[in-house]
Structures are given as structure tokens and as C-alpha cells.
Amino acid sequence: MIRRYVFGSPIETDAVLCKPEAAVWQEGRLLLRDNVFCCGLKEDEIVYGLGQNVRGINKRGWIYESNCTDDPQHTECKTSLYGAHNFLILDGEKKCGIFVDTPAKVTFDIGYTDYEQMRIAPATPDFEFYLIEEESLDGVVSTFRKLIGRSFIPPLWAFGYGQSRWGYDSAEGVRQVAAGYRDKHLPIDSIYLDIDYMERYKDFTINEDTFPDFDRLIGQMKEQGIHLVPIIDGGVKKEDGYDVYEEGKAGGYFCKDADGEDFVIGVWPGKSCLPDMLNEEAGSWFAHKYKILLDKGIDGFWNDMNEPAIFYSEKGLREVFEKIDEYRTQNLDVDTFFAFQNMVADISSSPKDYGAFYHNYKGKRYCHKEVHNLFGYYMTRRASEAFEELSPKKRILLFSRASCIGMHRYGGVWQGDNSSWWSHLLMNIRMMPSLNMCGFLYTGADLGGFGDNTTEDLLIRWLSFGVFTPLMRNHSIRGTRMQEAYRFRSMHLMRDVIGVRYKLLPYLYSEYMKAALRDEMMFRPLGFVYGKDKLARRVEDQLMLGTSIMIAPVYEQNAEGRTVYFPEPMKLIRFHGGEIQEEGVYPKGFAYVEMPLGDVCVFLKENRILPLSKGGENVEEVDFEDLTLYCFGEKVQPYEYYRDDGESRVYDLKSGIRILTV
């Protein structure tokens, strides 16, 4: 059951496709006071949701803001990451979903100020508010997802393993990465190009010095079964003579300041302008520029810097330099010194700058801060819509850093610029179901960690979880330790682990597509499946993956195993040294399971089928028909196996699914 309430004059986000009739607000469990929704939380009540954010699967005990933010320090004390996902579920006596549909900020105090109280505070009085009540948690999710529309479906090849780094700064460097993998028979399907490939970070350009004959490089990679996936930034370099800039300027496509002049910010190339992605004409103009790369044979993109990240605004920077002069002559003490240091640190992504430029959206002028969370969404949507026109038959891979609900229909998200921290591996695990609820199925984190130096064991453990996530990409920042799998002594373990992905692929793709086409989750917290099991509900580091298996990744350094909670009897399937080993059945309860580095373990439910392929060195090599069906139990249920060509834009559950039985 859905109820929709309209408060004030909301700005349309297009998050919801088919809106139910608006109802008159009536107080129930939620009280509304001064634009804040409040309710008490029972002692054992769990609050799920909020997509991409910090902390647990259960969001209780912290305060969150939906406010797309470019902040790479994903520590527990943060309140926002790159996405704004205003959907949550109360798992109390009744199961209740809440969605706040607004492009502006919303604050969710979920037992932070008072552990037994929840407060939801939209920043403005203009928003739509949805309440969904269903019998089950899955039911709430499904109803919500039907409301917001089908999740993005990438091409099949995008389920292969990808290697990325900010720092592949020449065609030769890219070739070396490809060779590093192929020569050592480490499976791979894609290499990502970070900002290095562009000419001085200008969108839709190629650095001809370092990437001469880019088309040939693309072709060579294709021959090796490797897709090149370039990055596209949200800001366009302000440079006379640069055609994209000139066109944007002439067309009036850039966001304007209060005086109607193009708003100038600093990002990678230095001074830049922001295409008004929200505006249909401007966004579409920008989106059609992707054709430059599509025409070269590129079939996948990642959209970055689209919170939008603002290193500085021209005006903000000038003010800072002026204020610095005031500090020069002072005795800098505890107050003034840190004020000086913080002023320089806080130049970037400042609220002041977000209040200083304007969009032309659906025929009206809006200050950016009113519609902040739509920028990454619309950048990705415009591109996706252009791809339907430019590539009507073939799916194009597309995922984004910033997002909000609505964007899930147009692209995936990676989980932002994380760090090579064990705690971020755990965060990656926890974010999967939270994002799935909100419609983001194609997602994954930078395996091995983006910032800071990785370690060999962290990378292996992260890959061992990454084999399950639809987006499986190893990515890192320049200046840190290189983390391509072939660089390590235990490369053979990495080969084994990455190889598991390709064995799992038929199951993963089948589960992904069923989740997408049925508006379901691929990764679920245990509490969704075993809601009456008090211990299962508390589990924060294991996930149900599709209908057949549970996973329990290792995320602690030097661990050689871990305790696992079995909510029902399950059989251990162990991937070890390229082999698949069927081990014992664990009874309901806790057990310690040995998981040495390089082993990947999945736990098969009784009477369910896990189909596994023979694997391959890229997706094309995987034989989706030559499957081994693993199962145990007396009453094995048939498995609904979804397949399609992995490429065309026509999806049909009926024709795609066939039944596997043993």
C-alpha cells in the first residue's frame, strides 16, 4: 500500500514514474511538526536504507544527510557520501517504507540525538512524501521499486573484471596493463581510463602526445577481449578555441551566476564551466558529445565529478586570497591559525558556491542548492537517453559517482573514492543491500581501495568479495602503490580469485537480471529472509546473494577464517586453487569457517541450486550452457535461470528464463 503526500510546491525530480493520487496528511506513527517527521523506535527495531552512506546495514545510531558530496575521507563521522538516497525502511512490528522525493537536502536523525527517536527533516517545505506499507520487507522494496522504475541494465561484458587507475597516462601504459593480465592468464574484460587520457582534462578530447592513434588502441584492446572505459567529467574547461567550451558558451548551455554570466569554477583543468545537465537542451547537447567516443568503438563510460565537485569558484578563491592577507600580520594562535588553515581546506565544495549559480530546469530558474542532488542524476540520464538514440540496439555501460534516486534507471554507481582500508571493504559489503533497496543494482567499490596504499592481503580479500558485486573493478589513485593483480608475489591467488567471478557469472547475471526485471534486490540483509530469527537480523557482515546462496566475506587483516552465522543449514562451496570443493553442511547456529587467503567461500541454501560455469579469461569465454548445478537436500527446487544475448536492449523475463532442475 502506497500513500503519497504533497507538501508545498515540490520541484519535480522525475524519480517517480507513475504517481498515485495525493492523499491528505494524517498522523499515524509519524508525527509532523515544523517540517520534521518524528517517530519513536522500538528497542529491536531496525532501520534499513539510505543507499550510499556510512555505517551499518542498520542505520540506527547516527545522523545522515542526503547531499551529494565529494569527500574522499569516508570515516564514520561523515553524514553524506556521493549519493543522495532518501529511501528507508522501518523494520518494526509493521514494515514501512519512507521516501522523501526532493532534489534538496534531507536530514535523517536515526537515533542519533536520541537512540529511541527518528527525525526526518527536509531542508525545504516543498517535497513529496511516500509511505509504503507491506507485509514483508521484500514487499516494501518491491512496491517502492515499481514506483521508481526499472533499474539500469548494463551489457553482459560489464560483469567482467576491470582494471583501473588514475595514472595510466599513455597508450603504452594501457597496453602494458593489458599484457600484464593476458600474459599471466589473469582474467580481465575492461581497462578504465581516468582523466589521464584527455588533453589537459578537457572532456571529449584525447591527448594526442600520450595516446596517439587512440582508435588503434581501442581496436587492439578489443582484439584482446578488453573494453576501454573512459571517464567523463562534469566540468568543461574554460578555454578559448576548445570546441566544447565554445559551443557551450555560444549555446548558453552553462550554469549561470546571479548576474547571468557563465559560472566559473576550478576543477581538474583549472577554470571550467558546468553544463546545465538539468536543462534538457543543454544536457542533451553535452550528452551527444559522447558520440565522439562511441564512434571510435567505446561502449562504456563512467561519469565523475558530478556532485558537482567544485575545487573552488573564481570568486571564492579571490576572497580567500584576500582574507589570507589579513592573517599575515597576526600572532596566529589556536583560533586564528586553525581558522586560516580551515579556510583554505574549506575552499572546496563550499555551500556558498552551491548557492551562487543557477539552473534552467523544466522551464524555471533554480538556484543550484535547491536542486543540488539532481546534477549527477541528470548528467547520467542525459547520456543514457542519448545512448538510446545513438546506440539503439546495443547497451552501453554507464555508471556515475554522484547519484540520487531516479538515476538508477539510467546508470550504475561506483561507491565513490574510497581508501585502501579494511574498514572500507566492510563498508562496501554493507552498502550493497542499502543501494539495492534504492534501485542501484549495478554497483561495486574500488577493489583494493582508491586512496592510500593497498596491501597484498587487503587486495586479495577485497577481490574475494568483489567477485560477487556486479561492478567488479580494481581502481586506485596516482601516487599510491600500484595494485594491478599481476604485480604481487601471490598473483596465483589473485588469478584463482578473479577466476571465481567467471565461474559465478551465469548465476550472477541471472540473479541481476531477475532483480532488475522484477524490481527486487540482488543482495539482501539476512533479516530480509530470516526476519523472525533475532540473531539473523543482527548480522551486519553477511549477505544473501540471490535466491541460492549466502556470502560471509573476510574483512579483517591477518584473519584466516571467521565466524559465520547460519540461519538455516547450509553447505559450504569452496573455490580453492581454481577448483570447486563441496564441503560439509553447517547446521543452524554459529560456526568458525577457515578461509585462507585466496579461497572464496559461498554457502548454499538447502534445496537450492547454484549453477556454476567452467569459467574463462573474459566474459566471452564463459560458456553459459555448460553448467554444473550444485545443490543438496531432499526437495531441490528448480532454479529460474535467466539468459539473454547480454547486449540488446530488449529484455523479457518470459523468454529469458528457463528452469534448471537436477
Q: Which of residues 338-357 bind a copy of itself (CB under 8 A)?
A: 340-341, 344-345, 347-348
Contact 144, 97 (CB under 8 A): yes
**Residue 540 touches a copy of itself, criterion: CB under 8 A:** yes
Least CB distance to a copy of itself at residue 255 (A): 19
Subset of residues 571 to 600 that bind a copy of itself, contact rule: CB under 8 A: 590-592
Residue type at 556? E
**Closer of 148 and 267 to a copy of itself (Cβ):** 267
Outline where 262-302 has alpha helix (H): 280-288, 291-294
Closest CA to 496 of 184, 268, 202, 43: 184
Give the x-and-dash track for 106-135 against a copy of itself (CB under 8 A): ------x-xxx-------------------
**Residue 58 touches a copy of itself, criterion: CB under 8 A:** yes
Strand 227-233 versus strand 300-304 pairing type: parallel
**Closer of 173 and 561 to a copy of itself (Cβ):** 561
d(CA 171, CA 177): 10
Burial of 476 (0-12, 13-18, 19+ CB in 10 A): buried
Question: CB under 8 Å to 453, separation ≥6 — which residues?
Answer: 420, 480, 481
Least CB distance to a copy of itself at residue 118 (A): 14
Subset of residues 474 to 493 that bind a copy of itself, contact rule: CB under 8 A: 489-490
d(CA 317, CA 330): 21
Subset of residues 609 to 638 that bind a copy of itself, contact rule: CB under 8 A: none
**Closer of 8 and 61 to a copy of itself (Cβ):** 61
Contact 498, 465 (CB under 8 A): no
**Residue 532 touches a copy of itself, criterion: CB under 8 A:** no
Cell numbers at residue 621, please?
Answer: 569465454
d(CA 86, CA 95): 17
Residue type at 137? L
For residue 403, what are the β-bridge partners?
Answer: 83
d(CA 488, CA 499): 16
Cell numbers at residue 507, please?
Answer: 548465476
d(CA 155, CA 298): 13
Interacting span for a copy of itself (CB under 8 A) from 132-140, 224-232, 333-341, 603-611:
333-341
List 560, 582, 623, 647, residue binding a copy of itself (CB under 8 A): 560
Given CA atoms 478, 483, 487, 488 in this order, what sign does their dihedral have?
positive
**Closer of 19 and 78 to a copy of itself (Cβ):** 78
Least CB distance to a copy of itself at residue 77 (A): 4
List 56, 155, 160, 187, residue binding a copy of itself (CB under 8 A): 56
Q: What is the 3-state secondary structure (H, E, C) of 515-544?
A: HHHHCCCCEECHHHHCCCCHHHHHCCCCEE
**Residue 210 touches a copy of itself, criterion: CB under 8 A:** no
DSSP state at residue 396: -
In a 3-state reduction of DSSP, which class is residue 301?
strand
Least CB distance to a copy of itself at residue 312 (A): 7
**Residue 76 touches a copy of itself, criterion: CB under 8 A:** yes
Subset of residues 23 to 52 that bind a copy of itself, contact rule: CB under 8 A: 44, 46
Least CB distance to a copy of itself at residue 484 (A): 16
Interacting span for a copy of itself (CB under 8 A) from 181-189, 329-337, 625-633, 646-654:
329-337
In a 3-state reduction of DSSP, which class is residue 422?
helix
List 22, 184, 337, 614, residue binding a copy of itself (CB under 8 A): 337
**Residue 77 touches a copy of itself, criterion: CB under 8 A:** yes
Subset of residues 132 to 191 that bind a copy of itself, contact rule: CB under 8 A: none
Question: How many residues interact with a copy of itself (rule CB under 8 A)?
Answer: 71
Subset of residues 383 to 442 that bind a copy of itself, contact rule: CB under 8 A: 419-423
**Closer of 421 and 651 to a copy of itself (Cβ):** 421
Interacting span for a copy of itself (CB under 8 A) from 30-38, 72-80, 253-261, 390-398:
72-80
